[in-house]
Structure 1
Amino acid sequence: MKKALKKMMVDMTAKLLQQPSIEQQLDDNARHCAQSLPALNNLVSPYASKHAQFTPVTSERDDIVFITSRFRSGSTLLWNLFRQTPDCSAYYEPFNERQWFNEHMRGDNVDNTHRGVDDYWAEYNGLNQLSDTYNEDWIRKSLYMSAQSWDPQMKRFIEQMIEAAPGRPVLQFNRIDFRLPWVKHHFPNAKIVHLFRHPRDQWCSFLTDQQLMNKDDVHNTYQDAFYLDVWCRDLAKHYPVLDKINTPHPYQRFYYLWKLSYLHGLAFSDLSLSFENLTSAPKTVISDMFTALNMDTNKVEPLVGVIKAPPAERWRKYADENWFAQHEYICEQNLSLMLEERSITDPER
């Protein structure tokens, strides 16, 4: 009965949309939205005061550090390194729906895989005013933002944390990788650190039950614990390969999202780090990172002990090389077509 009713409603809607007057209105609206605005520069007004003194703009500070990374890629570890660094105020995943600044919402749970972390919210204590500008839709909508995207509320939310930081503000995000053009445009003097991890190991960390979601059954048994479906649903309008209809296999959708995030990170960050290098050669990587951020490298040595390297190539226990390689090859071919770039498997590259 429900299926029949649903089909009837779909058919009625389809017929309604085919009415000439409705089609014309939709076409007019589409043309209106597609109109390009002229390219204008905001030149100085001839009436502007030449001697007025204004308070420096928060977003133009040059001591801000943004960390961008995907879920399950070691971002908590990198955040904790800055948290343990004197003179830094490190904010953990500001857009998180647990709302670390709200003691009634955040709870007290800490992921037991986050070694050396007792809480995520100490830096947010006393910042209850963040509730006035926080928008939970940031975790699921408009996950891609161009430099010209308009969200003054998001900007103010970030600025409040920067202004409240007693030390150098470091903001660790898992939800700005496709918003980096916007971040870079609105915080032009900030440094952006991009952390990435081997996609196969990251995939295995994504799976909360590898026995249930084994390589042979995951197509049917995949359970989303880290927002893969949420991200793909929102970003599919920009990258159709993320649509579940076009890409039903969850590992392929995961890989598309990983690769696109990786490319955004390379394009818009000041520094890109691999999780594998960070955990295998921590002193060198942290020293290089601190140098790039104009931080004191004498503070590196105590941080090395914070890092406990996980076993390498854990993905081999999940599936063999061929299983992953076949899925990744399909994805790379489609990405090359979509992004108009030569395939990474092309020998002429």
Structure 2
Amino acid sequence: MSSLQVYFICAGYRTGSTFLWSLCDLDENTTAIYEPLHPDLDRRVNRPPSVESSHKHVTDYFQFFRLGKTSPKLLGWSPDLALSNFWLTEDDQFDALRHYISKLIERAPTSKVVIQFNRCCFRMNWLSRNFPEATIVSLHRSPHDQFSSIRRNVPSDERNRYRYDTFYLLTELSMLLAEAPAVFADVSEFDIREAFSRMWLFHQAEAERFAKFTFYYDEILAHPASAIEELCRSGLLDFALMKKYLAKLSSPREKPDTPSAEKEFNEIFSRQRDRYCNSKLGDLCKHGGTKNDIRQMVHEGILHQCNTVSSELANMRSSKFILWWYGKFINPNIYGTPNDL
């Protein structure tokens, strides 16, 4: 189909990706597909719709599969699409993922397809190589607000430690650690805010290289009219439709963090940003270093992993945690109950 338009929204958790997807979903001429890499997708598709109260204007996350009477498994979905190859570059092979995304696009009943991913922040290079016709849109949020939102339900005395895997943060940190250990070089022990800051910076570096458009949820909240106009210019949203709905639209707002906690986080993030930007790793990412280049820096001792952080995150990849992904084990008293909807 020569007129086919494909957009990939690549975003982390709690960055407004559901809100942006819901705006795309308002357009009857757009097929908006929500998080097709969810590791529990098949079960969620086959149960009655359930929507988080803060996600206004949403009635069903997975209507693409329900309305099309399509089983994710028949299209090639499996939990491994989310649990392996978390960081992909243009030379990597992941045929199962390429086949699955191709099937999603083929099954779309409209000529405009928007796929919202929460597990492709570090796969944009691979996506641009395997789907050159697609427009990659990267969505971000200020690091403090994103972290605070991710950890909002964690007890205050545990919020900055490596416990409670809310919104899959520890899972993603552990996967990124396994595939790109240099990202966490010289991160001090025990404080998850430092590891999160490094992951946030790495996502930003990937977006600068491989996303055609980059938007910030904070700007959408602060200046909705101008932000929506920019989103329309990118082609992601329809201007006439958004003009009609703009006055009625409202995005969820959360209880702000305490000033002292925000100040402390911002100081930590600033230190990590300075270390990252002034490091060989930051320079390599900025100028297009490959995955092997970065790994080689660790092997040569140019970058050093923090053994304490490595062991803490490695523990999250233990049998108990992996079994959780397959629905066989869960202990909310230890790990919390992850939920990215």
**Alignment TM-score, normalising by the size of structure 2:** 0.73
1:324 and 1:93, CA in 2 relative to 1: closer, same or farther beyond 3 A?
same
User: For 1:315, what is the secondary structure of its paired residue?
Assistant: coil
Aligned to 1:308: 250
Percent identity over the alignment is 22
Counterpart residue type for residue 151 of structure 2:
L
> What is the CA–CA distance in structure 2 between the aligned matches of 1:103 and 1:313, rounded to whole Å?
31
* 1:275 equivalenced with 2:275 (yes/no): no
> What is the CA–CA distance in structure 1 between the aligned matches of 2:194 and 2:214, rounded to whole Å?
24
1:61 and 1:95, CA in 2 relative to 1: closer, same or farther beyond 3 A?
farther
> Which runs of structure 2 are paired with 1:174-185 in the superposition (5 Å)?
174-185=118-129
Shift of 1:221: 7.2
Counterpart residue type for residue 214 of structure 2:
S
User: For 1:240, what is the secondary structure of its paired residue?
Assistant: helix
* 1:173 equivalenced with 2:114 (yes/no): no
Aligned to 2:265: 324
> What is the CA–CA distance in structure 1 between the aligned matches of 2:236 and 2:122, rounded to whole Å?
26
Q: Is the 8 A contact 1:130 1:160 kept in 2?
A: no
1:220 and 1:196, CA in 2 relative to 1: closer, same or farther beyond 3 A?
closer
Shift of 1:287: 2.2
Aligned to 2:95: 152
Shift of 1:338: 4.2
User: For 2:166, what is the secondary structure of its paired residue?
Assistant: coil
> Which runs of structure 2 are paired with 1:47-86 in the superposition (5 Å)?
63-86=5-28
> What is the CA–CA distance in structure 2 between the aligned matches of 1:85 and 1:97, rounded to whole Å?
27
> What is the CA–CA distance in structure 1 between the aligned matches of 2:63 and 2:186, rounded to whole Å?
39
1:62 and 1:316, CA in 2 relative to 1: closer, same or farther beyond 3 A?
farther
Shift of 1:308: 2.0
> Which runs of structure 2 are paired with 1:289-300 in the superposition (5 Å)?
289-293=231-235, 296-300=238-242
* 1:194 equivalenced with 2:146 (yes/no): no
1:103 and 1:75, CA in 2 relative to 1: closer, same or farther beyond 3 A?
closer
1:127 and 1:268, CA in 2 relative to 1: closer, same or farther beyond 3 A?
farther
Q: Is the 8 A contact 1:232 1:243 kept in 2?
A: no
* 1:250 equivalenced with 2:192 (yes/no): yes
Q: Is the 8 A contact 2:42 2:73 kept in 1?
A: no
Shift of 1:243: 7.8
1:63 and 1:128, CA in 2 relative to 1: closer, same or farther beyond 3 A?
same
> What is the CA–CA distance in structure 1 between the aligned matches of 2:218 and 2:205, rounded to whole Å?
18
Q: Is the 8 A contact 1:80 1:117 kept in 2?
A: yes
Q: Is the 8 A contact 1:222 1:250 kept in 2?
A: no
Shift of 1:255: 1.3
> What is the CA–CA distance in structure 2 between the aligned matches of 1:61 and 1:318, rounded to whole Å?
52
* 1:218 equivalenced with 2:159 (yes/no): yes
> What is the CA–CA distance in structure 2 between the aligned matches of 1:250 and 1:294, rounded to whole Å?
34
> What is the CA–CA distance in structure 2 between the aligned matches of 1:319 and 1:227, rounded to whole Å?
22
User: For 1:163, what is the secondary structure of its paired residue?
Assistant: helix
* 1:260 equivalenced with 2:202 (yes/no): yes
Aligned to 1:90: 32
Shift of 1:275: 0.5
Cα deviation code 1:262-303 (max 9, x no counterpart): 221222111111112112322322222222228642222133
Q: Is the 8 A contact 1:145 1:181 kept in 2?
A: yes
Shift of 1:213: 2.6
Aligned to 1:163: 106
Q: Runs of 4 or more off by more than 4 Å in structure 1?
A: 243-247, 309-313
- Residue correspondences, number: 279
Deviates more, 1:136-145 or 1:65-74: 136-145
Shift of 1:227: 1.4
User: For 1:213, what is the secondary structure of its paired residue?
Assistant: coil
> What is the CA–CA distance in structure 2 between the aligned matches of 1:151 and 1:312, rounded to whole Å?
37
**Alignment TM-score, normalising by the size of structure 1:** 0.72
1:66 and 1:219, CA in 2 relative to 1: closer, same or farther beyond 3 A?
closer
User: For 1:64, what is the secondary structure of its paired residue?
Assistant: strand
Aligned to 1:143: 86
Structure 2, unaligned runs of 5 or more:
285-341
* 1:117 equivalenced with 2:58 (yes/no): yes
Shift of 1:100: 5.4
